[in-house]
Amino acid sequence: MIIIKIFDTHCDTAYYMHEAGIGFDNSNTHLSKQDVDKYEVYEQMFAVWSHPKRSAEECWKHFFDVKKHYDKEILTYKNERFIPHLTVEGGSLLNNDLSRLDVLKNSGVEIMTLVWRDECCMGGAHNTNKGLTDFGKSAVEKMFELGIIPDISHASDKMAYEVFELADRYGKSVIATHSNLRKIRNHTRNMTDDMFLCLMKTGGLSGINYCCDFLEDTDIKKADITSIIRHLEHYLELGGEHNVCLGCDFDGIDELPLGIDGADSHFKLYEELKKINYSDSLIENIFYNNAHKFFESNI
């Protein structure tokens, strides 16, 4: 066993497993039962993706198909050392029906990534300049009431700021489950410094994404553990010691950074941080405590 506690706020493993028809005890995914068993504690947010090629109604039905597989192949392994959580990636499956949020909450959903790409009933994604729709605003308000945390990863800048305003009005927190910083990698999927500062004002949390395209500006093939640390360093420069965590996006990205093979590689990042004199308490905050405390306070 590796004596490290891990809390990762985003992976697509449950979705991938369902599509491939495989169980959690496999050797094909970035994250598997064999991986989580290596660590002292492993908490993981498992996202169910609303694929843009599916209609809203197809996404709604598909969520329950994936959840059934998740319940059978992942949730059954839950114990004091492995704690899975369920999320939705892409709000198109709501299809302008607020009552569906009640159903999702009762199904165990704790986070909703509001959009993925282009536009849906919630509003515009990072590749648009569209904010929240009227329905999107009502949905975020209801999410706050129900205890489903809105996730601004993939959101347009306009949508993100509108969510921050609603969070301030309701006294609630916002998360960016798998987002990096635009100052380090200039990509619309990443947050500006000001966006992260606004996120922190809500008591929010941001998970570092291992997608190579969101790590490196010049040559994404050179993305490695140092690239991850560069984003982490800037989060810390902005005062994010208690607001940054891991949001690796395992099984949702085609190519991993050099030196990262999947969930079994967390110790490599740990060792690199120790080499550059990160304190044990800071590493523990990034790897586990920040996310664990955030969800204790907000779910």
Quick: pLDDT tens for 58-95.
999 999 999 999 999 999 999 999 999 999 999 999 99
Output the average pLDDT for the chain. 97
pLDDT for 3 beyond 90: no
Closest CA to 221 of 255, 188, 265: 255
* Alpha-carbon gap, residue 9 to 110, rounded angstroms: 11
pLDDT grade for 1, boundaries at 50, 70 and 90: low
- The answer to whether the beta carbons of residues 228 and 197 sit under 8 Å apart is no
Instruction: Please state the pTM of the whole predicted model.
Output: 0.97
With the C-alpha atoms ordered 146, 151, 154, 159, is the resulting torsion angle positive or negative?
positive
Q: What angle do CA 190, 221, 7 make, to 5 degrees?
A: 50
- The answer to whether the beta carbons of residues 291 and 205 sit under 8 Å apart is yes
Tokens of 94: 């709501």
Quick: pLDDT tens for 191-221.
999 999 999 999 999 999 999 999 998 787 8
What secondary structure letter does DSSP report for 250?
Answer: B
